[in-house]
Amino acid sequence: MKIEKAIIYGFGKHQDLSIDLNGRMTLLYGANEAGKTTIQQFIVQTLFGYPLRTQNLQRYEPKAGGKYGGQLHLTDPVYGKVIVERVKGKAAGEVTVYFEDGTRGSDAELKMLLRDYDRAAFESVFSFSIHELQGLEKMTEEELSRTLLASGTTGIDAITKLEDRVEKEMAGIFKKTGRNPEINQLVEELRAMEAELKGLRSRAELYRPYIGRLQEIEQRLRLIDEEEDRASEEIKKIEKQQQAAPLIEKEKGLQNELESLAVTAFPSDGQRRMDRLMDRLSEAKARAAFLEKEAESTISKEVGSDAIGPLNALLARESEWHQMRSVLRRKQEEAIRLEDDRRRLLSLIGMEEPAALQADVSLGREEELISLVQQAETEEEENRYADRKLAEERVKLADAEKELKLFLSNEPSESERRMAEEWQGLASKVAEAQAAKRAQKAANSQTVNYAITGIGLLTLAISLWQSNYLLAFIGFLGAIGGLWLLLKKGKPEGLGAEQEALLSRYGGKETEYAALIDRLDSYDRKLDGYIEQIEAAKRSIGKLSKEGRSEQARFAYQNFLQRLGLSPDASRSTVLGLFEKLREIHAVALKEQRMITEIAELEQEQAEWLAHAENVLDGPAPADELYAVLRGEMNKRQQQLAALEKRKEQAAAIRQELEQLHALMAQIHEEQQGLMAEANAQTVDEFYLLGDEWQKKVQIDRELAPIRSQLQVLGNVSEAAGEQWKESDLSQLEAKLQQLKEERRTLLSEQAEKQQFTNQLLTDEAYEVQLQLFNEKKEELADMAKQWSARKAITEAIKQTMEELKEKSLPAVIQNAQTYFEKLTASSYRGMEMTQEGSFEAVRKDGMRFHIAELSQATKEQAYLSLRLALAVSMAESHPFPIIMDDPFVHFDRRRLQQMINLITELQEDHQFVYFTCHEMMQQVWPDAYVIDVATIERSVFS
């Protein structure tokens, strides 16, 4: 099965894309976040379904909306060309399979196409990434061997996972040295329960001794009761004698006191009747006094109508009062705001208030400040310009001196200058010698003259033949001229010895000497130019240095700021703002002064208003609640006027009631006289004294009655009988009785404790309950043991199954894996072998064996990849799936990477490989691969 094309409707960040894949090796390159993993997951999820939302896997639904899903165009050796389309639908998506003959299918046909493989089985063989290889570094020897075994045997991964799960469950049930497993905990609980049962059995053995002790306690308690009864009888006799003695003594004293009282008669309930009369008289007097005072207050509290007029006048002006108060509050708030503004402005300019208020902030001073600021800025700019010019001239001087130094390094030598001077003196002579030599050569050669004469004669002949007289005349003149030259030219004179010497020395060197002179002239001119530049720069530097910096405008600006009260170092960019703030301070101060005056006037007006209100109210008048008080006072006075008439009516009633009270007081006085006559008393005080004696006499009679009855109850004990008992006898009896009580208390406590214990033993079912729990725990332990045994049998069966898989399926895979491993390691290792214990070993070419955990990370990965590829190759006929790799070669160096590429190149003849990478170098090291840049994939026709 090969993937020819992937059409993405919408999956993750990709939308409406069409990707053509090579049937052999396709390399999808892209930087991080380009969407490589999205494409890889699109292939897997389109084939095997979208993950459920409950699974911890990403579904890659488009965030921007749109159609979800896509198509995979496949070529299968059995079913031919097939299109698998999966779109959003049920949990795993709605899938449609289009076959080459036009038929369609769904999940059942797709399952048949995928040879009943699910996603987990596919990813365990045909899809792997760098994450699986990175995990090899942290694995133990056993885990590595198991991983390699799972990589080389189809189906064994699920078996090993089942074995791990069962072993984990077994460890949760029982562990020989553990505490947390369930069986271990049950064993500990059974031990504790067994110890508790032993304690309960030991308690039951105490029942019989406790019953015997309880019988002894009951017998002793009966004896104690008898002894206590006898002691109590003796104590009662002594106590009766003790009680009778003070009663007899008290009876005798009361009888003597009764005989001393002289009163013989007193009105029945006389004191209470007299008290009642006194109370009625007091009430009548108090009522009369109250009515008299009420009559006086009714007259004194009358309020005239003249007290309401001023209040009405004030209440009529309530709106004026509130308006004045509102204006006063606004002006006070405005004064506070102005004060805050003044302080804020003063803090901004950094001046004291007196200095700020004394400063002149007129427009003339502002214009003067602006002028000084401009002058200072102009002066500063000129100084900066002068400094820049001075720096530039110094740079020019340094550059010129540097160039001069460099120029002087190429200065012509003295010999060249002497040669130039000699040549300048001999140049004319050499020129004359050369001219003489040329003349001599010309005299020796008559060829030209003969040629001129011949041409003239020939022209003359031709012209005459053609009758062209003008041309014949010209030819005649040429012939005459040539003859004249031939006749004129004599023999030339020879060159002198000096000229011969000059020509031999300087002949042919004129250009060289001319170039030398030009070079010397150019050098001298440039040298003069450099010297002139240096001198000009020095003159400019001297001139600029002498001119100096002008600071008059700055001093004038600083003096102005000092006179104004500002800091002389204030920035010129902010000084105008400070001047404006200073002017604002003046304006705020004037407003604040005016506001203070207005507030004082309003406060004076408020004080006068309050004084008038206090005069009207005859009391204090609070400013905040003035009119509430005035209205309350107005209501009060109106109520008083309304009650005036009512009080007048009450006055008449009061006078009538006073007359009745006076008559009542006279009647009460007559009744008092009758009571005093009955008691033979002259005054009320004497009446009360006689009443007290009578009460005392009655009280003595009352006290004597119970004493006589008590003595009668005691049996009429005589005074002589009370002297027979002794105090020591009573103490001994009480001590004995206390001792018996203590013994009783101790015995009762012991009796209660033992009765409670025996009753608890009779009714306590703890032993039976604990025994039942113990048996239940034993049964639970037996069930746990059965579960552990069942899981143990499963693990043994799994181990046997794994051994069978190793014997049947693994040898062929390992044979190919050894070949691949040898190729990948460049024959550094001959292959891999499995030991009797089920672990893998790598065999080096010298025969040395290494456990997988001892290999380097990259070599472990080579072993893992060898087994994976060998398994995939062995399943090519039964499960002809493409192999999908997500950048698994990042740990390989260039040599190992090339060996891996060579191996895949061999395998891609029969298998399709899809390789995802973010490393650009993979495009260069894999030249035969069909490269797709994920970032530049163009949209398909569906877009």
* CB neighbourhood size of 456 (10 A): 20
Give the count of alpha carbons within 13 A of 88, CB side only: 11
Task: Express each pLDDT in 908-940 by its tens digit.
Answer: 888 889 999 988 888 888 878 889 888 887 554
* DSSP letter string, 246-302: HHHHHHHHHHHHHHH-------TTHHHHHHHHHHHHHHHHHHHHHHHHHHHHHHHT-
Residue for token digits 């020395």? Answer: 505
Lowest mean pLDDT among 208-212, 469-473, 760-764: 760-764
The torsion region of residue 734 among left (phi > 0), alpha (psi -120 to 50) and beta comes to: alpha
Q: Kindly tell me if the per-residue pLDDT of 149 is higher than 60.
A: no
What's the confidence (pLDDT) of residue 203?
66
Which carries the bigger pLDDT value, residue 267 or residue 446?
267
Query: What is the pairing mode between strands 94-98 and 104-105?
Result: antiparallel
Residue 11 in 3-state DSSP? Answer: strand
- What average pLDDT score do residues 490-499 get? 58
Bridge partners, 81 (sequence order): 75
- What average pLDDT score do residues 856-860 get? 82
Give the count of alpha carbons within 13 A of 434, CB side only: 14
| Listed residue (236, 377, 275, 256) closest to 700, CA to CA | 256
What's the confidence (pLDDT) of residue 940?
40
- What average pLDDT score do residues 28-40 get? 88
What letter represents residue 792's amino acid?
A: K
Bridge partners, 915 (sequence order): 27, 885
Lowest mean pLDDT among 403-417, 487-501, 731-745: 487-501
What letter represents residue 763's amino acid?
A: T
Task: Express each pLDDT in 607-636 by its tens digit.
Answer: 888 788 788 777 787 877 777 887 887 788
DSSP H or E stretch at residue 336: helix 318-349
Which carries the bigger pLDDT value, residue 798 or residue 377?
377
Bridge partners, 832 (sequence order): 842
Alpha carbon distance 37, 40 (integer Å): 5
Beta strands in 113-189 (DSSP E): 127-129
What's the confidence (pLDDT) of residue 104?
92
Residue 829 in 3-state DSSP? Answer: strand
Q: Kindly tell me if the per-residue pLDDT of 943 is higher than 50.
A: no
Taken in order 266, 271, 276, 280, is the CA torsion positive or negative? positive
C-alpha separations of 497 from 65, 425, 500, 501 in Å = 112, 18, 5, 6
Alpha carbon distance 672, 684 (integer Å): 8
Q: Kindly tell me if the per-residue pLDDT of 647 is higher than 50.
A: yes
Q: Is the distance from CB of 575 to CB of 350 less than 8 angstroms?
A: no
Mean pLDDT, the chain, integer: 77
Q: Kindly tell me if the per-residue pLDDT of 262 is higher than 70.
A: no
Chain-centroid distance of CA 843 in Å reads: 55
- Output the pTM of the full model: 0.37
- What average pLDDT score do residues 289-314 get? 68
Bridge partners, 917 (sequence order): 29
Alpha carbon distance 293, 393 (integer Å): 119
What's the confidence (pLDDT) of residue 8?
92
What's the confidence (pLDDT) of residue 508?
64
Lowest mean pLDDT among 18-22, 63-67, 162-166: 162-166
What's the confidence (pLDDT) of residue 98?
95
Confidence of residue 152 (pLDDT cuts 50, 70, 90): very low
Alpha carbon distance 196, 188 (integer Å): 13
Lowest mean pLDDT among 58-67, 177-186, 747-756, 912-921: 177-186
Report which listed range, 74-83, 128-137, 223-232, 585-594, is most confident: 74-83
Non-local CB neighbours of 354 within 8 Å, separated by 6+ positions = none
Q: Is the distance from CB of 46 to CB of 82 less than 8 angstroms?
A: no
Query: What is the pairing mode between strands 930-933 and 25-29?
Result: parallel
CA dihedral 635, 636, 640, 642 (to 10 degrees): 20
What's the confidence (pLDDT) of residue 382?
74
Q: At what angle do helices 414-444 and 510-547 cross, to 10 degrees?
A: 140
Task: Express each pLDDT in 700-730 by its tens digit.
Answer: 777 777 877 777 776 655 554 444 455 666 7
Write out the two tokens for 736: 């004995």
Q: Is the distance from CB of 240 to CB of 246 less than 8 angstroms?
A: no
- What average pLDDT score do residues 247-255 get? 75
Q: Kindly tell me if the per-residue pLDDT of 491 is higher than 50.
A: no
Residue 25 in 3-state DSSP? Answer: strand
Output phi, psi for 10, to 5 deg: -170, 115
Confidence of residue 87 (pLDDT cuts 50, 70, 90): very high
Residue for token digits 């062929």? Answer: 812
Residue 298 in 3-state DSSP? Answer: helix
- Per residue, the 3-state secondary structure of 368-404, as one string, reads HHHHHHHHHHHHHHHHHHHHHHHHHHHHHHHHHHHHH
834: exposed, middle or buried (Cβ count in 10 Å: 0-12, 13-18, 19+): middle
